[in-house]
Chains A and B, each alone.
Chain A
Amino acid sequence: MDTWGLGLILGSLTASTAAFVWLALKLGGKSKKGGSMTGDDFADQAKKDVEHIFNDEFREELRNRGRLHFEKIIGENAMFLQQDLRLTTSQLNEYMKTEITRKLQEEFTKYEESITDAKQMAIESITKTQETIEQQRLMMSQQLSQELANEKTRLIDRFEENMADIVNHYVLAAVGNQIDLNDQLEYILSDLEANKEAIIRDLNDGA
Chain B
Amino acid sequence: MEHNNSILVLPVGAVGRLDVGRLLREAEALDEFLTQAAVREPGTALKLPKTSKLLDDMLTSNKLNGLVVEDRQRIISFLQSVKGQAPTMHISFSADPSPLFVQRLVSYLRAEIHPLVLLQIGLQPNIGAGCVVRTTNKYFDFSLRQRFKENRGVLMSKLQGLPDKKPETPVPVAVGAPTAPEVASV
**Which A residues contact B (CB, under 8 angstroms)?**
160, 163-164, 167-168, 171-172, 175-177, 179, 181-182, 184-185, 187-189, 191-196, 198-200, 202-204, 206-207
Contact = CB atoms under 8 A, between A and B. Distances in A.
Interface string B77-103: 000000000010100011101101100
Give the interface SS of chain A, mostly helix, strand, loop or mixed.
helix
Nearest to A174: B128
B37 interface: no
Contacts of B1: none
A198 B172 CA distance: 10
A202 B97 CA distance: 25
A203 B113 contact: yes
A172 B130 CA distance: 11
Chain B interface size range: 35 or more
A192 B133 contact: yes
Interface of B: 87, 89, 93-95, 97-98, 100-101, 104-105, 108-109, 112-114, 117, 125-131, 133, 135-138, 140, 142, 144-145, 148-149, 152, 155-156, 159, 172-173
B145 A182 contact: no
B145 A172 contact: yes
B89 A188 contact: no
B61 to A, nearest CB: 22
A37 B36 CA distance: 218
Contact of B128 (A176, A200, A207): A176
B148 to A, nearest CB: 4
A190 to B, nearest CB: 9
7 contacts: A171-B128, A172-B126, A176-B125, A181-B93, A181-B94, A185-B105, A199-B89
Contacts of A189: 105, 108
Contact of B129 (A179, A196, A207): A179
Given A171-B144, A179-B128, A189-B108, 13 more contacts: A163-B159, A164-B155, A167-B148, A172-B126, A177-B95, A182-B98, A184-B130, A185-B104, A187-B129, A192-B112, A198-B140, A199-B133, A203-B136
